[in-house]
Amino acid sequence: MPEMISLEEARALVLAHVSALPVETAPVLEAVGRVAAADLSSDIDVSPFAHSAMDGFAVRAAELAHASAEAPVELDVVAEIAAGDVFEGVIEAGQCVRIMTGAPLPEDADAVVKYEIVDVVTGDGKPGSRVAFTAPAAERSNVRDAGEEAKAGEVVVEQGEVIGSAGVGFLASCGIVNVPVHRRPRVAVIAVGSELVDPTEVPTRGKIRNSNSYALAACAQAAGAVPVILPIVEDTQEALAAAVSAATEQYDFVVTSGGASNGDFDFIKPVVEELGELLITTVNMRPGKAQTFGIVNGTPVFGLPGNPAAAYVGFEMIIRPALRKMQGYTHFERPSVMAQLSRDVKKKDPRRIFLRGTLYKNDEGAYVVAPAKNQSSGLFGVIQRSNCMAILPEGLESRTAGSLVQCVLLDVNEEVSL
């Protein structure tokens, strides 16, 4: 049976046994947050024509070269162009055109002067009026040129790039309404325990509600996967083996919770060993020492502990990176910062400790982390109120208030660089 290994070894081992799933085509709106599986190119120049960046007057900049408050230059307004309209006429000397934001720039114009700084001499500023300019205008000022953002045929989103909300709009402007992305992994979530009942039931004496399945399914969903909560499995090796074997035939990844230790009713390790290849049994971390990983029917199977915090930390630190790799992501670790401990922390366990806590900035702008007072691995509420995990390295060295510790940010995506 495999020996206890480090978190880094466990993560690397799991990542080595998963790969990006096949490519599918998704509507561009459904591609937000996903990874482009190919280079995506624009079919036109974006913008396809030079246009005004604001409401104003389209002019020839040379005509305003000597304009000043003392000697304003007056021009006749000969036309008005709204967004969607096109001016086909000619701007003669001494003339200008009133233009709206987004409207095509007339061929004879090379600048736009915003409406608010132009004086109306006669009329109302519309065609037939005469207006005065009291300052020069630089060529191409307030003009968005054709192809400013992209040229026809240019790659606008590269393979491996994560598509953001703005990226969806960019792709739409480039005529790309369907995007090749890696298929989202379907994750089977199985809770193990004869003491468990559905959350819709009021538990009787000796029973508890199955909350782990919902938390782990939420973690999988937050990682971009598609979770499916399967029925609770009773504490027998035969029942668990049947459930795991069936799940590996239908899903891309199987996650169980409970029965991961070495008690009389802990069966995930022997089940994985019996059905396939057992690769991990324990990881040098707390909470979450009992972590089972192996391959069954070619499908990754991960057995998490039943305690909520242990299951959550194991998922965050090992399973989440694997699910991201299956979707084509290349960043697998959440950002971390160094922060001052708000209080003394005694260390009695030589394993690497993950303290759930709250990260904030003090009055001097320095990061401070306040570990939750109750670090019991059986509590969900503490995790709900935490935004980071403070790490105490292996060994028995305690930490005093003000000591710097590494904090993994739980509310910041892996692509963010701090």
Residue 114 forms beta bridges with which residues? Answer: 56
Residue 264 pLDDT exceeds 70: no
Q: Give the DSSP per-residue string, 116-136.
A: GG-EEEETTSSTT-EEEE-S-
35-60: average pLDDT: 97
Kindly state the greatest CA–CA separation across the chain: 96
378-385: average pLDDT: 92
CA distance 174 to 45: 8
Residues of the chain with pLDDT > 90, as a percent, come to: 96
Q: Given this model, what pLDDT does residue 333 score?
A: 95
CA distance 197 to 207: 7
* Residue, of 378 and 268, whose pLDDT is higher: 268
**Cβ(375)–Cβ(312) under 8 Å?**
no
CA distance 41 to 39: 7
CA distance 277 to 17: 11
244-259: average pLDDT: 96
Q: Residue 405, CB half-sphere, CA atoms under 13 Å: how many?
A: 35
Residue 317 pLDDT exceeds 90: yes
Domains and CATH numbers, the chain: 7-22+184-326 (3.40.980.10), 24-47+147-182 (3.90.105.10), 51-144 (2.170.190.11), 336-416 (2.40.340.10)
Residue 213 pLDDT exceeds 70: yes
- Other C-beta atoms within 10 Å of 91: how many? 20
Q: What is the pLDDT of residues 396-416, one digit of tens each?
A: 999 999 999 999 999 999 999
Q: What is the pLDDT of residues 108-139, one digit of tens each?
A: 999 999 999 999 999 999 999 999 999 999 99
Residues of the chain with pLDDT > 70, as a percent, come to: 99
Which residue in this structure is represented by tokens 């070495």?
262
- Other C-beta atoms within 10 Å of 46: how many? 19
Mean pLDDT of the chain: 96
Q: Given this model, what pLDDT does residue 263 score?
A: 66
- Other C-beta atoms within 10 Å of 68: how many? 12
Q: What is the pLDDT of residues 319-344, one digit of tens each?
A: 999 999 999 999 999 999 999 999 99
352-379: average pLDDT: 95
pTM over 0.75: yes
DSSP letter (8 states) at residue 63: G
Q: What is the pLDDT of residues 3-27, one digit of tens each?
A: 899 999 999 999 999 999 999 999 9
Taking CA atoms, 247 is separated from 20, 243, 337, 405, 414, in Å, by 20, 6, 38, 40, 29
Q: What is the pLDDT of residues 174-204, one digit of tens each?
A: 999 999 999 999 999 999 999 999 999 999 9
